[in-house]
Amino acid sequence: MRKQQGFTLIELVVVIIILGILAVVAAPKFLNLQSDARFSALQGMVASINGANSLVYSKAALQGLEKDKATAANIDLNGDGTADVQGIFGYMAATKSDLEAGLDLTFDAGDAGKATATGANGDWVIKEGTGSVEIWQAGAPSACKLTYADTTATSAPAKPTITLPAKTDC
């Protein structure tokens, strides 16, 4: 009797076909993880903004500024007597500086997920508009952004609006 020395060509081909089928089925699930992570990061930023707005609103209410829109009230967050955040109806105004102060975070100025300044090294990119800002995670696709906009209401109570993209845009 002869001893078998290895695998036959047919056995190797069958194994390669099975591995190919597994790769075709499993790869799309793993490739979509980056998109899910970007969308989750945006949801985390929304939660951070909402949490910060709750605290800013509380400080504004203690200072009697929660009903003030016309003058963009100066809200003192740390009790040192200086204005830290501009508030509209007690919520952070939609500007880079106000969001940075309220969130204790540094944004890179830019557009479409890319910072415009050279040497920028932040995790988040912001583009200011009139009464709104767009926020991306650095390096994210241009459609994968959240929009934070001041309220358009003329009397309190009026919250700012936060708009998330479709999950498929990330």
Per-residue pLDDT of 114-152, as tens digits, reads 877 665 677 899 999 999 999 999 888 999 999 999 988
Read off the tokens for 56. Answer: 């800013």
Global confidence as pTM: 0.77
- pLDDT recorded at residue 122: 77
Amino acid at 107: F
Instruction: Note whether 148 and 158 are within 8 A (CB).
Output: no
pLDDT of residue 70: 59
The edge-to-edge listing of strands for the beta sheet with 145-149 is: 114-115, 108-111, 124-128, 132-137, 145-149, 161-163
| Beta-carbon contacts of residue 52 (< 8 Å; ≥ 6 apart) | 92, 102, 103
Both tokens assigned to 145: 């952004």
Task: Mention every residue, 6+ apart, whose C-beta is less than 8 A from residue 112.
Answer: 136, 142
Q: For residue range 62-85, list pLDDT tens digits in order.
A: 888 888 675 567 888 877 878 888
What are the structure tokens assigned to 31, written together?
């490739």
Instruction: Provide the pLDDT for residue 7.
Output: 80
How far is Cα 114 from Cα 144, in angstroms, rounded to an integer? Answer: 12
Give residue 67's pLDDT: 80
pLDDT at 120: 65
Residue that the structure tokens 């945006």 belong to:
42
Please answer whether residues 168 and 159 qualify as being in contact, where contact means their C-beta atoms are separated by less than 8 angstroms.
no
State percent of the chain over pLDDT 90: 38
Q: How far apart are CA 56 and CA 88, in angstroms?
A: 10
- The pLDDT value recorded for residue 115 is 77
pLDDT > 90? residue 9 = no
